[in-house]
Structure formats: structure tokens, C-alpha cells
Structure 1
Amino acid sequence: MDNSVLEKMVTSDGESVMELSKKKPLLVVFLRHFGCIFCREALQDLSKLQDEIQEKGGDLVFIHMANKETAEQYFKKYKLVNPKWVQDSECKYYQEFGLVKGTFNQLFGFKNWVRGVDAAIIKGNGVSWKQLGDGFQMPGVFLIDNGDIKYSFVHNSAADRPNYLDILSKVEQFKN
């Protein structure tokens, strides 16, 4: 991927992902649409981890497909404090990062149904419904430090659940 993409990705705070990555390692989280159970579960997980991510010297940037109002509504609902985000309604950044459209099995397979019950009912994220964005777009998480992608977690299934702290710890492996 060309680093100019990171320059073009301007966050809600007015800084580019490139600029932010020069200050501290970033977990750049490409979300599915906000109606997706697993998108809301990711927001729930990251809300619980946001202080620890900051303590470990990292920061979060969300990439989403919705409008500003919808995104801010969900960030507020999940108590994400001053979230940085990039709106990508056309999924061009998703494509630049190699995130593809999901197959039927990746989106609706057995694993998704089993995990969906846990995320929706047990964890209280509600059922899925179509929201603004491409319902076939797969998510991913990228660790970016000083303009370089140090690690990527590309979902094989919409139900995959990344270990965000483990991904952030990878930056230390590359500094040694």
C-alpha cells in the first residue's frame, strides 16, 4: 500500500492517520456496518480496552461507512471517549488495505450464527439489521506505527474476534 493513502485518511480530529501514527502506534479498526452484531461487539470490546490501549502507548482510529451522525451515535452509546474516525462510505480505504467483500459463508455461516447468539443476546448487542454501509464488506485491524503497517488482522469470518491488546503488543516486536 502506498503511504499517500495514510495521508489522505483524515480523521474526525482533522489529523491524518499518517500524522497520528508518527505520534504513537495506532490500532486502525475497519468496522462493518453499525447494524452488524459483530461491529457493535467490537465497539463494546474496544470501549472496555480504550484506557489500557492508551496506557500501553497506543491509540485507536475507526474506519466506518456510515454518516457522521450515525457514527457519533454509536461511539457515544458504547462510551468511546473522543474517538478518532475516518468516514469511508465508498469503501475505498477498505479496498486499499486489501479488505474484500465477504462470501456467504464468511457472513452467514454456522460460526456466525453461534457467535451471533453470544454477541447479540448474552452480551446485549441486539440483533443485526442493515445499516448505512456495505453489508458485504469485511472488517480488519491494522497496527500502524510511524507510517508503516506493522501487523494486520484480516477477518476470515465476520464473527472473528481480534485480540486488540495482543495486536498492539506486536509493535514492540518490530522495535527490537
Structure 2
Amino acid sequence: MAAHAPHAVAGPRLPALLLTPAATPPSLRRARCPRGYLVNQRRRMRHLLPAAAAAKPGAIGSAAEAAEAPAEGLARSLQGVEVFDLSGKAVPVVELWRDRKAVVAFARHFGCVLCRKRADLLAAKQDAMEAAGVSLVLIGPGTVEQAKAFSDQTKFKGEVYADPDYSSYRALEFANGLFSTFTPSAGLKIIQLYREGYRQDWELSFEKNTRTKGGWYQGGLLVAGPGINNISYIHKDKEAGDDPEMEDVLKACCS
């Protein structure tokens, strides 16, 4: 299946793209030049949300981490965590791979420009996954309505679930904090994505659920199943836009 054409949404320019409104300082909102993001982030770092700056940056995941961390421990941390499908039905997250093998991607939030690129990267490999009997799943921190909008806009053909309380993100100890969000490489990647035609969806980004949560959690990806303890690969984004290597993902799920 080929990656879909990026969905363009009108909105503010690049400097604030990593932020939700509650976390965006006025000086960054007003900046117009993409290069200003890279300059302003360092100048403003010490002034932004001291609590967020003190947040634990989180573990950096890799293929090796799944081998080092007991799968039972990862699955145990997810016990009791529920996500919601597009009909609003609650689904225990471990049920997503109990009876099948699945690639489960975790987005930063449903309006994130970086996450739309990742959805395309995964969609481009979905035919190979399906040929190997592997399901493609995406979980985003937000409401069911946000998840529906993401699904409609991106034409992502995998399953989409909402995690309005960030429960799975906390359970998996994904990176969280100011210094995993504002990085030079993330800013450069956003500029490149805008040149490719991708856009942040600001209507989704300004939804209350996303706005009040702050937007500090990063995402990740795991390959799991069949069996809730069978987690063969996990990638935890060390910073915004830290995509896993698709070759590693395919090797873990389809070899």
C-alpha cells in the first residue's frame, strides 16, 4: 500500500509545532521564520514550565531493550490499561496482540506533524505486514473524536485507538519532558516535513484534551504477539521525531 498524500491544514508557521497551546510561549507563537524556532528554543528553555523541565526524560528504547527488559514486566505494566476504538469501546491494550502479531505505534498526539509522517512510513510497509499476517495499530493520546479525525484525514488503514489519559504512555515510561521535546534535530525535521507538504493539524492540537495534557510525552513503537507477554521489539522515542528504523521493524514483525 502506498503512502497517502500529506493532508494540508492551514495554521501557524513552524516555530510552535512541537507545542500545544498551553505550553507555547507568546514569543514563539509570534515568530514567523522557521529558523527562529531553533534560536528561540534555547533562549527560552530556562523560562518554560519549570515542572516540565524537571520531568524525567524517560528511557530510550531500541530493539535490544526488548531483549533486556523482561517481556512479562512490560506486559505487567500494561495490565489494566485501556484504550478506545473509533466506536468508543474500551479495549484492554494487551488484547491488541493477545491472539495475533501486531505493530503498535504510539503517536505524540493526533495533530502532530511528525506523527503524520510516521503514519505514512508505516502505511508504506503495511502490505508487507499484512502478507506476514501482522496487524498495524496506532494509538494516540487524545479523545475518540480526535482519533476519528486523524483516521479520516490521513486515510491511515491500520487500526486507530485513543488513549485519553496517557495511561499506556506512562506504563511504558515513554520519554517525557521539555528536553525531549525541544531539540535542534526535531526542529530541522519539522522544517523538512513542511517542505515535503506535511502540516500540523492545529484544530486537533488545540483540543482541550491535548492542550491541557501539555504535549510533553513522546511516542514509540512495539512489535508484540501472539501472546500478551510476547513483546519482541520496542522503540522509545528519545526525542520528538525519533522514528524507528523501518527495516528493524519489518525484521521484527515479518521475518
Change (3 A) 1:52 1:78: farther
Structure 1 CA distance for aligned equivalents of residues 237 and 252 of structure 2: 18
**Is the contact made by 2:101 and 2:224 (CA closer than 8 Å) also made in structure 1?**
yes
1:1-176 aligned at under 5 Å gives the runs 1-3=74-76, 5=78, 8-10=81-83, 12=85, 16-81=92-157, 83-104=158-179, 106-122=180-196, 124-127=197-200, 129=202, 130-132=205-207, 133=210, 134=213, 135-145=215-225, 146-147=227-228, 148-171=230-253
Structure 2 CA distance for aligned equivalents of residues 87 and 143 of structure 1: 18
Deviation at 1:31, TM superposition (A): 0.7
Structure 2 CA distance for aligned equivalents of residues 3 and 91 of structure 1: 17
Letter in 2 for 1:166: D
Structure 2 CA distance for aligned equivalents of residues 127 and 68 of structure 1: 19
**Is the contact made by 1:50 and 1:80 (CA closer than 8 Å) also made in structure 2?**
no
**Is the contact made by 2:103 and 2:136 (CA closer than 8 Å) also made in structure 1?**
yes
Match of 2:64 in 1: none
What is the TM-score normalised by the length of structure 1?
Answer: 0.81
Letter in 2 for 1:38: L
Identity %: 24
Per-residue deviation, residues 110-139 of structure 1 (Å, max 9, x unmatched)? 1011111112222x2114743442411110
Letter in 2 for 1:156: K
Letter in 1 for 2:124: K
| Count of matched residue pairs | 170
**Is the contact made by 2:175 and 2:239 (CA closer than 8 Å) also made in structure 1?**
no
What is the TM-score normalised by the length of structure 2?
Answer: 0.58
Deviation at 1:107, TM superposition (A): 1.4
Gaps in structure 2 of 5+ consecutive residues: 1-73
CA RMSD of aligned residues (A): 2.6
Change (3 A) 1:9 1:84: farther
**Is the contact made by 1:58 and 1:168 (CA closer than 8 Å) also made in structure 2?**
no
Greater C-alpha Rg: 2
**Is the contact made by 2:140 and 2:163 (CA closer than 8 Å) also made in structure 1?**
yes
Structure 2 CA distance for aligned equivalents of residues 165 and 59 of structure 1: 17
Change (3 A) 1:6 1:172: farther
Deviation at 1:38, TM superposition (A): 0.8
Structure 2 CA distance for aligned equivalents of residues 68 and 11 of structure 1: 7
Change (3 A) 1:163 1:56: farther
